[in-house]
Structure 1
Amino acid sequence: MDNETSRTADYFLVKLINEELDAAPFDRTMCTRFPPEPNGYLHIGSAYAIQTNVEIAQTYNGKFHLRFDDTNPLKEDIAYVNAIIEDIKWLGYDPGEHIYFGSDYAERIYDAAVILIKRGKAYVCDLTPVDVSAYRGTLTEPGVDSPYRERSIEENLILFASMRNGDFKAGASVLRAKIDMRSPNINLRDPILFRIVHASHYRTGSDWCIYPMYDFAHPIQDAIEGITYSLCSIEFKDHRPLYEWVLRELNIPAPPRQREFGRLSLTGVVTSKRFLRQLVEGGYVDGWDDPRLPTLRGMRRRGYTPESIRSFIAEIGSIRTQSTVDISLLDHCLRQDLKEKTVSVMAVLKPLKVVITNYPEGASEMLMIDNNSENASLGSREVPFSRTLYIERDDFEELPPKGFHRLSPHAEVRLKGAYFIRCEEVVKDELTGEITELRCTYDPDTKSGTGFTGRKVKGTIHWVDAAQAVKAEVRLYHELLLAPSVPGEDGGNWADAINPESLVIVSNAWIEPFAKHARPEQQFQLFRHGYCCVDSKHSPGENLVFNRTVPLKDSWNKK
C-alpha cells in the first residue's frame, strides 16, 4: 500500500477483519467494492468510501471493484457513469478491468426472486404504495400483514411472471420478502424486492419493466462477484440483517460480509446527494462542478489536488460513527501539498497606479525573481519592470495606523524582487476624493540580488508592470452556507441559506505576464492572496480566470 494513504495500525476495520478471518477465513481472495448509483456525481464522502475500500483490498493483497448500482432507469444515465469513472481515476484509484454494472445481473437477480417465491419467502402484493407504508407500522408500533401475504406459491409465480411481462401498470404490484411484520427492525417488515417501472434503461433499453430494490440486488451482486467484505457507511447498519437474510435464504456459500464505517461530513459543507441536487437544479450554484460544492468535480475545478484529498482522508483515520470534520484540516492538507510545488506569481486584485517619476520614460528592464522561495529546484523567472506599475490598494495608507509597514506618504518600501520606492505625492480625483495615482521615486542602488546592504525597510509589497501585466478575473470562494443547518433539514429556503459572499468575483485583477500562457487547472500561488488554479472552463485566448482554492493563512495549524 502507498505510504501516502496508508492508515495507522489501529484502523478499526483492519482489526475487525483480522479477528473475523482468524475465526472464519474465506477460501477466496479479499475483494471489496464501491457501488455508486449513476444518478449524480461523487463527492468528498464518496472519496472516503472509495479510499476505505481500496485500502482494505490492498492491505490483504486483494481486488477492488467499481460496480454501478444501476437498477433505477428513472434517474440514471451513461453520462454519470463516465463522470464517476473519470473522477475515480483522477483521485488515483484506477479500477482497471474491474468495472461492473448491476444491470448486467438482471436475469440472475430475477431468478433469485423466483427461488424465494418457490421457497415461500416472497409474495406479490397489490397494496398501493400508500397502504404498503401504512401497513409497515412505526418505530413503536408493529406492522400489519398484507392481505396478499398468504397467496400460494403457484399464484405468486404467475403474478411475478406477469409483472415481468408488462401486464401491470407501475405501482399496481410489488414483490415483497416474507420475513416478519412485527420485527423491531423496520427493514425486515416484508421489504419490497421488485417494483414495476415502465421506462427505458440506459443499458438494457426496454428489456425490463421490473427492477430490484437496492437492498435485494446488492447482496446478490456481491455474491456474484465474489466480494468478501461489503464495506459501507454507517446508515446501512440497520440494513445488514436484510443483507444477511437474502444471502442465507438463497443458500449462498461463504457469503460476503457487510461491515460499516462512519460517514464523513465537513463543517459548512453539504454532502447529501439529495441536497446537492436541490442546489444544482434550483440554480443556486453553477452546476455539479461549482467550486463551492464538495463534489470531486467541484473540488477539482477549485484546485484541490488528488494528493491533498488522499492525505486528508489518511489524516482522519478510522471513523466508526457519523463524524463531522473541520474543513480547515482539508485546507491544511492542500497547503502542505502545494507549498513546495507551485510557482509563486504576483497578482494585484485591487490595483492602484504607481508612477516612478525618476525612472526614465520609455525604459524597461527584466528582473529575476524566485519561482518558489521554499523550493529552489523550481528555479527563477524574469519579471518586467518599467516606470508605471500597479500595487494593491490595500498596501497604501494615507494615514497609516501604528504598525503599518507598507507604503504611505514619504515612507519607503521594497518592491518584491526590485527596488526601494518612496511615495512623494498622492493624486486624487477632484470630484470623489478617491486616490487615483501615487507618484513615487526609486533608489537605483537598491536593486534586489545585487548584494545591497545599505539602509533597511520594514515592508515589502508585490506589484506588476502596468505595460505588460495581463488582465485577469479572480474568483474568491468562501463557505456556501450561512449556518450549519440546511433548508432540507429544517424546512427553510435555500435562497435564505446561501452566503452572498460565498463567491466574490474580482474582475479587474492584473497578473504578471508569466501566467498568460497558463493551461486550465494549472496551479499557482498568488503572493499574499493564496493558492489558485486556472478555471477548467477557461479557453485559450480568453481573459484568464483564476479560482482561489484556499488562502495562505492556515487556521488548522493554530488549532
Structure 2
Amino acid sequence: MSEELKGLEEIKTTSFIDDIIVEELKDGGRCEGKQVHTRFPPEPNGYLHIGHAKAIYVDFGTAERFGGICNLRMDDTNPTKEDVEYVDAIQEDIKWLGYNWDDRFYYASDYFEAMYEGAIELIEKGLAYVCELTPDQMREMRGDLSTPATSPYRDRPKEESLNLFKRMRDGEFENGKMTLRAKIDLASGNFNMRDPVIYRINHMKHHRTGDKWCIYPMYDYAHPFEDAMEKITHSLCSLEFEDHRPFYDWVIQNVTLPGKPRQIEFARLGINNTVMSKRKLRALVEDGLVSGWDDPRMPTICGLRRRGYTPTSIRNFSERNGVSKVNSTVEYAFLEYCLREDLNTNAYRVMGVLDPIKLIITNYPEGKTEEFEVENNPNKPEDGTRTVTFSRELWIESEDFMEEPVKKYFRLFPGNEVRLKTTYIVKCTGCKKDESGKVIEVYAEYDENSRGGNAADGRKVKSTIHWVDANNALDATIRLYDNLFTVENPEEGNFLDYINHDSLQELTNCKVEAGLKEAKQGESFQFMRQGYFCVDNKDSKPDHLVFNRSVKLKDGFKPGT
C-alpha cells in the first residue's frame, strides 16, 4: 500500500462506498497499492444546487477520508448548453464549501483528441461502425425485451467506417446524417448495450475549442474515457448511471487507456418544497419568477449562500443524510435545522426591529444616554461584548404593544410592566394615536432602580422585549422568505402552477443597532426573538443595509423523526 494512504485501521467508514474501497485497498484488491482518486464532473450548463452539494461531499469527502485526492472536471461535451459563467460559478461554490482540487482542474474537452483516437481504435478492432439511421429510425429499430435491435449498417467494413468517420470530423456531413455506434450486442437486455451511439455530428462552436470539432462524444463514452485518462480509481456517480455501468466497463476494457477506474453508484438527494432540475431552475430565472440563480429562495448553492447558509451547515446536512442505494426525499426543515444549529453556536446576538413603533420613556431625562455592555454570543464567551446605547426614545416592535390586551398577553399595555432587554423595567402608561386611530407612540416610565433588568424589590416581570435606541438606530431593509412553492412536491404536474407569489416579503422601515453599520456582506446575526439574518451579499451597502432572514428561531424539525 502506498505511503500516501492512511492506515485502513484509522479510517472510519461511513457508507457502503467506503466499505467497497477498503476491500479494494487490501491485498489483491482492484486498487491495491493505489491512492484513492475521485473526481467531481459537473456539466457547465447551470449553477450547482443542494443536490450537487451531496455529490461534492461524496466525491471530495471520500477522497479526504482515505487520504486521497479529488479532481474537478467540467463535462463540456455538449457545446449547445455550456457557458463560461457557469464554469466560474461552479469553482466558486466548491471552494466556498471548503473543498480544494489544487491544480487538478480539467475539462472533458481536454481529451477530445484522445477520445477520437480511441474511437478509431474501436473501429479498427471491429467494435464500432458508422451508422446512417436517423434518430427516429434508430428508435423504431431498437426492438424490445423479446426482439433484438437491428441496424443495416452494422456489418459495414471497418475501412469504410474509418473513412466516413474521418470525413465526419472534417465536416463533410450535416447534423444528424451519421453517428458512430459501438458494436456490442443488439439483443442485450440492457438497452444501453444495444450498439449505443458514441459520436454525433454537431456543427456548433465550442466555448473552449471553437470550431475545431464538429463531432462530439456522447457522455456515456466520454465519462469512462475521462476517468481513465486521469487515473481515477473510483468514479462515484448517482444511481441513474447504474444501468450504464456495463458500457462504462466495456469502454475501459476495449480502449487502450492508462487507468481502469471502477464506477460505484449512490442515490441522489431529494428534498421537498423545491425543484432541483437545472432545466426547471433555469425556467424560474428566465421567466423572471426569481431575481436570478442566486435568489435566496433558490436551492442553488449561491442562492443558499446569499440567504445566509454556511458551508458547515450544508456539509453537515450532506453528511447526516448518509449515502445509500435507495432514493429518498429529505425534509427541507432538516436543512434549516442544520443551519440553525450552526448559527446558534456562532452568530452574534443583536437587536433589530422589523415593524417599529416609538417608545418614549417619559420619566427618563431628556438628552441623557447610557451605555450597556452586551454579550455578543452566550454560547461563545470568547467573542466578548459590545456597547449599546439607551436613551429616552426607543424603537420597539409594534406587536409588543396592545392597548386592549388579549388573554395571556404579557407585553406592553397600559399598567403592565416589561423588561427592556439588558437595561430597565418599564411600566406602560398609555399611547398616542393618529387621526385614523393607529397607535404611533407608546409611553412608559422606567424604574431607575432596575438597571440590568432586575427589580430592587424582587418583583417578577413576565416579559422581556427587545429595542433599538432611536438616537442612533440604522435604517434597514429586511427580506423575509417563505417556500417558493405552495406544495411539498412541485415535481408532480407543472411546477410553475405551484409558485408561491408571496414567498418574498420586503420590509423597508426596519431599525437595527448602530454597530451593524460595520457588518460585512455575508455576515450572519441572530436578531433577538426574530430569527437569523444575513447581510445580503449583493444589495447591502453601509449606507443602505439589507438583511435576508436565513431561518426562523423556532424549529419544527426533530432529529430522528
Instruction: Tell me the TM-score range normalised by the shorter chain.
Output: over 0.9
Aligned counterpart, 1:297: 302
Out of 11, 15, 23, the residue aligned to residue 15 of structure 2 is: 11
Q: Does 1:79 align with 2:80?
A: no
Residue in structure 2 matched with residue 443 of structure 1 by the alignment? 447
CA deviations on 1:199-246 (whole Å, 9 max, x unpaired) are 221111111111101100110111111111101111111111111111
Aligned mates of 2:538, 2:527 — CA distance in 1: 20
Matches within 5 A, 1:22-421: 22=26, 24-26=29-31, 27-137=33-143, 140=145, 142=147, 144-250=149-255, 252=257, 255-421=260-426
Aligned to 1:510: 511
SS of corresponding position for 2:418: strand
* Distance of 2:182 and 2:168 partners within structure 1: 16
Paired positions, count:
551
Contact 2:186 2:193 in 1 (8 A): yes
**Matching residue's letter, 1:515:** L
- Measured after TM superposition, the shift of residue 493 of structure 1 is 5.5
Change in 2 beyond 3 A, CA 1:324/1:8: farther
- Please tell me the residue identity of whatever aligns with 2:90: I
Deviation at 1:141, TM superposition (A): 6.2
Partner of residue 487 from structure 2, selected from 483, 489, 492: 483
Relative to structure 1, the CA distance from residue 484 to residue 469 in structure 2 (aligned partners, 3 Å threshold; closer, same or farther) is same
User: What secondary structure is seen at the aligned counterpart in 1 of 2:557?
Assistant: helix
The Cα offsets for residues 165-193 of structure 1, whole Å up to 9 and x where unpaired, read as: 01111122111112223322221122111
Do the aligned residues in 2 keep the contact of 1:142 with 1:184 (CA within 8 Å)?
A: no
Selected match of 2:470 from 466, 489, 492: 466
1-side partners of 2:265 and 2:386: how far apart? 52
CA contact (8 A) 1:8 1:317 kept: no
Q: Is the 8 A contact 1:7 1:314 kept in 2?
A: no
Name which of structure 1's ranges 372-381 and 409-418 shifts more when overlaid on structure 2.
372-381
**Cα distance change of structure 1 residues 137 and 411 upon mapping to structure 2, 3 Å threshold:** farther
Q: Distance in 2 between matches of 1:451 and 1:46?
A: 54
Q: Distance in 2 between matches of 1:335 and 1:117?
A: 57
Question: SS at 1:304's partner residue?
Answer: coil
Amino acid at match of 2:441: E
Equivalent-residue separation in structure 2 for 1:313 and 1:493 (angstroms): 25
> 1:457-504, CA deviations, whole angstroms, 9 ceiling, x for partnerless residues?
1110001122211111111112111112335x52x251x311123211
Tell me how far apart the structure 1 counterparts of residues 280 and 323 of structure 2 sit (CA, whole Å): 26
Q: Offset of 1:451 from its aligned partner?
A: 8.6
Q: TM-score, normalised by structure 1?
A: 0.94
Mapped to 2, the partners of 1:211 and 1:65 lie a distance apart of 22
Task: Indicate the SS of the match to 2:532.
Answer: strand
Contact persistence 1:7–1:317 (CA under 8 A) = no
Residue deviations 1:121-175, cap 9 Å, x none? 111122222222333245x564531222222111111111111001111122111
AA of the residue aligned to 1:256: P
What residue identity is the alignment partner of 1:404? Y
TM-score (norm: length of structure 2): 0.93
Q: What runs of 5+ residues in structure 2 fail to find an aligned partner?
A: none
The CA RMSD over aligned residues, in Å, is 2.1
| CA distance 1:493–1:14, change in 2 (3 Å) | closer
State the distance in 2 between where 1:118 and 1:264 align: 42
Q: What SS does structure 1 have at the residue aligned with 2:389? A: strand
CA distance in 1, matches of 2:468, 2:160: 82
Q: Which runs of 5+ in 1 are unaligned?
A: none
1:316 and 1:254 mapped to 2: Cα distance? 32
* TM-fit CA distance, 1:8: 5.9
Question: 1:259: Cα distance to partner?
Answer: 0.6
CA distance in 1, matches of 2:84, 2:146: 42
C-alpha distance in structure 2 between counterparts of 1:124 and 1:320, whole Å: 37
SS of alignment partner, residue 508 of structure 1: strand
What is the DSSP-based 3-state SS (H/G/I as helix, E as strand, rest coil) of the residue aligned with 2:345?
coil
Deviation, 1:397, is 2.0
- Whole-angstrom distance in 1 between the partners of 2:237 and 2:30: 21
